[in-house]
Chains A and B, each alone.
Chain A
């Protein structure tokens, strides 16, 4: 008994356990993956918005993938304010030029990066947005300046289909 030799039976145990583990994995994964977004949810991936009636200084909120998207036509003052900020002052450094390719138009997910509330327009210490849930302040470029949110509000993929229409997604 002192020296254990690999026997036929050891091989059978190992082989059975291995097949069993693969079987369990193959059964459990569909049970987990069924909770991920389904085909019908994924199909609603893009939204087109007509922005022709939006005046400078106004924001519209549209629903994209169940989430609000802010489309703001910024005033020159707001653009200047956003571009004058030094990157060192930012918690999540991003240039306004990168966030708003066309400086007049800021298109971003209206979702606070803290815990997902919708921030309020034209509020807070930085003239941008303020999240009422846990007090995050965003600037005119939607960048986090103060409060618990870790990052700037996200910029979704979007493009101008023509002068008056933005396609999000």
Chain B
């Protein structure tokens, strides 16, 4: 993918690289030409990689002390918190790490929505990203079940019961998922297994995600195709590495704040009560990062339709590259889309808020309006906007608006003019 052939300097390097071209790969990753106008919203890819590694490492350590058994799981988590050396720290990093992971992924997704990063030729990157997001939700949900507290148990009951909405085979599927007639020990052990597996699936998909990214290269804030390598790009190392590292440090400050000052604020007190199959907590809510979808589920009065609406809200994202008919990527040049974008951000935040509130009265009404708008945005507004919107003129290169140049397209497209700029 680099434009030049890489030849290692040392003889051993040559010998090794001829047999396994790892050095070519390393060279590709360091020299990788990156648009020079990437802003801090582009640093979340690196931050997410950090989050994944953190979850895998802390998870591995927790698994050395945790016991996946309905009679012992709750106590083993308390054992980690009280007895294991630094167990409290490792568990708080893991538990808050999940929230930080979702915080970063939501910023990453909304960055993509703003700058049109999902559009051709990056559809596959986007779809792999959506699959990763789905797996993250599955991993987070199953991880939350493992401490075997009240929220663990009832969250697992409610979410697995979503499958019972499927006509005819639904009940059979739920029994199969549970390995019994209710959430119980067989459910816990299989959730533990899958919770352990999924991060490694995500890791594999991250490799594909980056591979697919490195074919067309990064999108950028003005959303134009960039000639690589050129005046418009900088090598990944050291420029982007330093920028990513700085952003990561800032992110870790936020992360550390939660871990050390308010480690339980994102959880639920009910989960410090051991699971009891006879009593449902008065107010069941999922973790904050699932609330918008939970609000959509509850806003539909029919069981099956509610489940379908909730799943559609996620899967509709995979169709986004084809629902958005505009050829212009970046919202910077789409004055109308920019407004609808912020309305969508507000809509999702509102859904998140009402998802945490009881499903009755005014909250239910707001949830219904917000749910309707969510689908309206993707199914009606985006397809029409691509045809109706008057977009602003898009610069021909990243350098052009800064260094000036003729607005005459024919002159500007002349390569000799670009040569003169060099």
Query: Which residues of A line the B interface, CB within 8 A?
Result: 32, 35-38, 41, 61, 63, 65-68, 110, 114-119, 131-135, 147-150
Provide the main secondary structure of the chain B interface.
loop
Question: Which residue on A lies nearest to B157, using beta carbons?
Answer: A116
Q: A35-B177, A66-B184 are in contact. Are A118 and B161 (CB under 8 A)?
A: no
Give the residues in chain B near A37, CB-CB below 8 Å.
175, 178-181, 186
Residues of B within 8 Å of A119, CB to CB, are 280
* In the bound complex, CA of A130 to CA of B270 (Å): 20
- Taking CB atoms and an 8 Å cut-off, the chain B residues in 179-194 that contact chain A are 179-184, 186, 190
Q: A35-B176, A37-B175, A133-B158 are in contact. Are A66 and B277 (CB under 8 A)?
A: yes
Q: Are A65 and B277 in contact (CB under 8 A)?
A: no
Interface string of B353-385 (1 = CB under 8 A from A): 000001110000000000000000000000000
Q: How far is the CA of A110 from the CA of B279 in the complex (A)?
A: 10
B169 in contact (CB, < 8 A): no
Report if B252 contacts A (CB, 8 A): no
Q: Complex Cα distance A61/B276, Å?
A: 12
Residues of B within 8 A of A115 (CB): 157-158, 161-162, 164, 303
Q: A65-B180, A115-B303, A134-B359 are in contact. List 5 more A-B contacts (CB 8 A).
A: A37-B179, A41-B184, A66-B182, A116-B164, A118-B277
Which listed residue (A35, A41, A110, A118) contacts B181, Cβ 8 A? A41
Known contacts: A114-B303, A118-B278, A132-B283. The answer to whether A66 contacts B162 by CB under 8 A is: no
Q: Name B178's closest neighbour in chain A (CB-CB).
A: A37
18 A-B pairs within 8 Å (CB atoms) are namely A37-B186, A66-B183, A66-B184, A67-B181, A68-B278, A115-B303, A116-B160, A117-B158, A117-B284, A118-B278, A118-B280, A131-B280, A132-B281, A132-B284, A133-B154, A133-B158, A148-B301, A150-B304
Q: How far is the CA of A135 from the CA of B176 in the complex (A)?
A: 27
- A66, B181: Cβ atoms under 8 Å? yes
Report the minimal beta-carbon distance from B186 to chain A, rounded to whole angstroms.
7
**Shortest CB distance A109–B (Å):** 10
Q: How far is the CA of A135 from the CA of B178 in the complex (A)?
A: 24
Do the beta carbons of A149 and B179 come within 8 Å of each other?
no
Measured between beta carbons, the chain B residues less than 8 angstroms from A36 are 175-176, 179
Contact present for A117 and B157 (CB under 8 Å): yes
Give the nearest-CB partner of A64 in chain B. B181
Complex alpha-carbon distance, A88 and B184, angstroms: 38
In angstroms, Cα B306 to Cα A78, docked, is 33
The residue from B175, B178, B277, B281 contacting A63, defined by CB atoms under 8 A apart: B277
Q: Is A65 in contact with B175, judged by CB distance below 8 angstroms?
A: no
CB neighbours (8 Å) of A65 from chain B are 180-182
> Which 4 pairs, one residue from A and one from B, show the smallest C-beta to C-beta distance?
A66-B182, A65-B181, A116-B161, A115-B161
Cβ–Cβ < 8 Å partners of A134 in chain B? 298, 359
**CB of B281, distance to nearest CB on chain A (Å):** 8
Q: Which residues of A contact B183 (CB under 8 A)?
A: 66
Q: How far is the CB of A20 from chain B (nearest CB, A)?
A: 26
Instruction: Determine if B18 is an interface residue (Cβ-Cβ < 8 Å).
Output: no
A132 to B158, CA, bound (A): 12
CB distance from B168 to the nearest CB of A (A): 14
Which residue among A38, A115, A117, A135 has the maximum number of chain B CB atoms within 10 Å of its CB? A115
Task: Name, among A116, A132, A147, the residue most crowded by chain B CB atoms within 10 Å (CB to CB).
Answer: A116
B26 at the interface (CB under 8 A from A): no
Q: Which residue of chain A has its CB nearest to the CB of B156? A: A116
**Is the Cβ of B278 less than 8 Å from the Cβ of A61?**
yes
Q: Which B276-318 residues sit within 8 Å CB-CB of chain A?
A: 277-284, 298, 300-304, 306
Q: How far is the CA of A133 from the CA of B360 in the complex (A)?
A: 11
Taking the closest CB of chain A, its distance from the CB of B163, in whole angstroms, is 10
CB-based contact A67/B280 at 8 Å: no
Contacts of A41 in B (CB 8 A): 179-181, 184, 186
Cβ–Cβ < 8 Å partners of A147 in chain B: 301
Interface positions of B from 132 to 172, Cβ below 8 Å from A: 154, 157-158, 160-162, 164
Once the chains bind, are B303 and A148 in contact (CB under 8 Å)? yes
A116-B158 contact given A66-B180, A132-B282, CB 8 Å threshold = yes
Least CB separation from B298: chain A residue = A134
Q: How many angstroms from the CA of A35 to the CA of B178 in the assembled complex?
A: 8
Whole-angstrom CA separation of A133 from B301 in the bound complex:
13
Measured in the bound complex, the distance between the Cα atoms of B179 and A135 in whole Å is: 28
Complex Cα distance A116/B158, Å?
6
Q: Which of B213-228 contact A (CB under 8 A)?
A: none
B280→A117 contact, CB < 8 A: yes
Tell me the smallest distance from the CB of A157 to a CB of chain B, in Å: 13
Would you call A63 and B278 a contact (CB within 8 A)?
yes
Residues of B within 8 A of A135 (CB): 358-360
In the assembled complex, the Cα of A119 lies from the Cα of B283 at a distance in Å of: 12
CB 8 Å contact bits of B3-35 with A (1 = contact, 0 = none): 000000000000000000000000000000000
Question: Is the beta-carbon distance between A117 and B303 smaller than 8 angstroms?
Answer: no
A35 to B277, CA, bound (A): 21
Taken together as a complex, chains A and B put the C-alpha atoms of A36 and B278 apart, in Å, by 23
Q: Which residues of B contact A132 (CB under 8 A)?
A: 280-284
Which residues of the other chain, A, contact B306 by a CB distance below 8 angstroms? Answer: 148
Q: How far is the CB of A76 from the nearest CB of chain B, in Å?
A: 28
Q: Using Cβ atoms and an 8 Å threshold, which residues of chain B touch A131?
A: 280
Please name all residues of chain B whose beta carbon is closer than 8 Å to the beta carbon of A116 when the two chains form the complex: 157-158, 160-161, 164
* In contact, B303 and A150 (Cβ under 8 angstroms): yes
Say how far B81's CB is from chain A's closest CB, in angstroms.
27
CB A82 to nearest CB in B, in angstroms, measures 24
